[in-house]
Amino acid sequence: MSRDRIGIIGARGLVGTEALRLLAERRWPADQVVAFSTGGTGPPTVAASVAYGDEALPLQAISDETVRGVGWFIIAADEATSRRVVPGLLKNGAIVVDNSSAFRMDPSVPLVIPEVNGHALDGASSLIANPNCSTIILLLALNPLRKALGLESVHVATYQAVSGAGAAAIAELHEQSEAALAGRELPPAVFPVPAAFNVFCHESPLDADSGLCGEETKIIRESARIWNGSTVPIAPFCMRVPVIRAHSQVISVRLCRETTANEIRRLFASAPGLELLDDRENGCFPTPRKATGRDEVLIGRIRPSFGERCNESVGCRDWSFLVCGDQLRKGAALNALQIIERLGGLAPAGVGATASPNDIAV
Ligand SMILES: NC(=O)c1ccc[n+]([C@@H]2O[C@H](COP(=O)([O-])OP(=O)(O)OC[C@H]3O[C@@H](n4cnc5c(N)ncnc54)[C@H](OP(=O)(O)O)[C@@H]3O)[C@@H](O)[C@H]2O)c1
């Protein structure tokens, strides 16, 4: 199997579009990138194409002929599509990174954030699962604290962008916002309640016994897997906010050891994948708009959780901070691409300049 071609399945969706953008930034040649439609929205028309840098790639249907000779796949589609197409791709000898939740809890499939548990790729199977976007952003932020000081417990409140629910959710927020400003109310379709000018509980199904929603359960279970069966308790509370793109999280931790604010800043500043934005004097902290289009997860507003009860330069064990991360980049497409790069694929010709937020269409 030649490994110089990569296929993006679900190339018209938000994650698929972002994967193509990242490949184009890395100057991966257009004739080695294949854009696939899942067929979920009907067969692609002959004229259908997707943008690839300044070029256009024809959209292919998935068939024995079109997948032949493609060595790497990023799947950016729904769970059912992943379950349907993965066996055939693996049989062909391809290496597949799947963004859906179809295989995340399968013990034979590594669930990987390269900065956190990249070692899980050593001797990896041909199928690798990308964790949930909120899990990736949370664990990337916690990684330096966990390694250096140990974690006793974690609380996280999420403020998730609507694009986490796919392309249709962005359209819904736009339409509802315009209608609301014109004094009209449009009924919700993607979300159970209006998204415009609102904050609401994550729409994933609630478990009747635990009261957890699906997103909260994913964070808990995926974190334990990625942390190799860790029993550190994580208390997530997931919300949607009328933000187009990039998830925010307020994280509160109890550490195993006391530490100071400066030590925490130092750990975050030197951690791969994080960028410290913690300027109290000028009120400069992470926001989803600053995080949009960025590979790094922004982190800041670091303070002792119990404020005046702790002298932050003497030290304490309870700390809170804010993170904002582009869930379409590090939370999905970038993480998938980093896995492929770590497995030796797609040595970048000109590793990507980060896109400016103005280049981001969503
Ligand atoms: N959105 C996120 O923040 C995020 C983060 C992490 C993981 N994920 C996971 O990644 C997978 C893909 O998510 P997504 O957010 O990219 O979903 P999406 O935007 O809804 O796209 C998924 C599929 O919807 C169809 N589609 C979307 N926009 C379209 C358009 N403008 N025209 C025609 N068809 C369109 C495409 O089907 P065809 O292929 O048939 O054209 C596409 O493959 C899911 O499993 C999701 O759970 C998403």
* CA distances to 56, 99, 180, 184 from 177, in Å: 32, 29, 5, 9
DSSP 8-state secondary structure symbol assigned to residue 28:
-
Ligand 1 binding pocket includes 166 (Cβ within 6 Å): yes
Quote the pLDDT of residue 45: 58
Cα dist from 346 to 92, 115, 273, 350, whole Å? 19, 18, 20, 11
pLDDT of residue 353: 40
Whole-number Cα distances in Å, 48 to 22, 58, 67: 21, 6, 18
- Residues of the chain where predicted confidence (pLDDT) is lower than 50: 349-361
| SS3 at position 36 | strand
Tell me how far the alpha carbon of residue 76 lies from the centroid of ligand 1, in angstroms. Answer: 6
Kind and range of the H or E element at 321?
A: strand 316-325
- Give the pLDDT score at 352: 42
77 lines ligand 1 (CB under 6 A): yes
Distance 361 CA to ligand 1 centre (A): 15
pLDDT tens, residue by residue, 175-198: 999 999 999 999 999 999 999 999
In this structure, which amino acid lies at residue 342? Answer: R
Instruction: Name the residues annotated as catalytic.
Output: 133, 247
pLDDT for the residue 201 = 98
The pLDDT value recorded for residue 345 is: 77
Q: Measured between alpha carbons, how far is 268 from 128 in angstroms, rounded to an integer? A: 27
CB count within 10 Å of CB 236 equals 24
pLDDT tens across 221-236, in order? Answer: 999 999 999 999 999 9
**294, amino acid identity:** R
SS3 of residue 167 by DSSP? helix
Task: Give yes or no for residue 69 CB within 6 A of ligand 1.
Answer: no
